[in-house]
Structure 1
Amino acid sequence: MFSKSKINEPGPKASDTKPAAADASKPAVSDSKPAAPKAKPPASTVASDLLITGNVKTTGDIQVEGQVEGDIRAHLLTVGEGATVKGEVVADDVVINGRIIGRVRGLKVRLTSTARVEGDIIHKTIAIESGAHFEGSVQRQDDPLSTGSKKMPTTAATDPKS
């Protein structure tokens, strides 16, 4: 029956003071929120008329439409239909529409119907569409991106004469 609530006490009502305090604190509240994650930058593109001689390394995505003579390391690598890469490719996701001459290492590797790969593929998952051209060996590994991968046995080690 008796309570210490301030509902019936004289003076400014709590509802009268809240809006002013809320308005004053809105900027402070929005400033204290963690910033939204930065938008992912667009993929870097190697144009069809561009030849890169040397290694390319990024934590982002690369779209190759021209030629690269060197190794590529990226998060997502897409090789366009008219593109050629001569070197080792290491990426989380690799989509090949064009030509790669060299080793391919990726968690997910996809060869489309227009792909031409001359080299070994080390992968966690792979998809090869009908019509793709592939010359080399395929090896599944749980961690194909690690540099300390198992080496393939040499012929001397398997030769009974040695």
Structure 2
Amino acid sequence: MFSKSKIHEPGPKADGTTPVTAETSSAAPSVPPRSSEFKASAPKAKPPVSTLSADLHVTGNLKTTGDIQVEGTVEGDIRAHLLTIGESATIKGEVIADDVVVNGRIVGRVRGLKVRLTSTARVEGDIIHKTIAIESGAHFEGSVQRQDDPLNSKGAGKVPTGAPSKSE
């Protein structure tokens, strides 16, 4: 009827797995069990570019981790990932972005890892960049400074240590 050897011998279990013994563990490398479920994660969709139309006039600061295309007028600072200034656009304030493409007019400081002034660009202010490209025909009045981390405004416009500030 029942034999003792069959009960204690390694063999397939009811769930289809084989128990590991001293004999089988040294002979075969251990392999993690495969999951029967495959969970595919879809790549994150990039958010669309926010566009400020040519008839829009914004007074105030704009901040996003996404991309902005400005065709209108902004009086204030702008911070974005990719900032594109259209030919009809005017920005009066500081611009900070990973990538800045200027086709229009900026009056104020520009900070960017990559800054590009096209032939229609008009910039009045300082540019702090990691890399810069200025096309022939671009108009630029100000200074240009290369920094490894231009997005970090630490020390920019600050009073040197030991010097009196205006509040004293």
Cα pair distance change 1:126/1:82, threshold 3 Å: same
Which TM-score applies when normalising by structure 1? 0.74
Which residue type is aligned with residue 42 of structure 2? A
- Poorly superposed stretches of 4+, deviation over 4 Å: 150-154
Compute the displacement of 1:152 (Å). Answer: 9.2
Figure out how many residues of one structure are paired with residues of the other and give that number: 130
> Counterpart in 1 of 2:153?
147
Normalization by structure 2: what TM-score? 0.71
Match of 2:94 in 1: 88
Give the number of the structure whose residues are more often helix, by fraction. 1
| Aligned counterparts of 2:143 and 2:134: Cα–Cα separation in 1 | 13
1:120 aligns with 2:126: yes
Structure 1 counterpart of 2:24? none
Map of 1:2-13 to 2, 5 A cutoff?
none
Q: Say if 2:63 is the partner of 1:57.
A: yes
Q: 1:47 aligns with which of 39, 53, 56?
A: 53
Q: In structure 2, what is the Cα distance between the partners aligned to 1:103 and 1:119?
A: 5
Please report the RMSD computed on the Cα atoms of aligned residues, expressed in angstroms.
2.5
- C-alpha displacement at 1:147, in angstroms? 1.8
Residues 13-71 of structure 1 show CA distances to partners (whole Å, capped at 9, x for unaligned) of: xxxxxxxxxxxxxxx634x23x1221101110000000010000000000000000000
User: Structure 1: which 5+ runs fail to align?
Assistant: 1-5, 7-27, 158-162
- Tell me the equivalent position of 2:37: 29
Identical aligned residues as a percent: 76
Gaps of 5+ in 2: 1-11, 13-35, 164-168
Quick one: distance in 2 between partners of 1:152 and 1:131?
33
1:111 aligned residue? 117
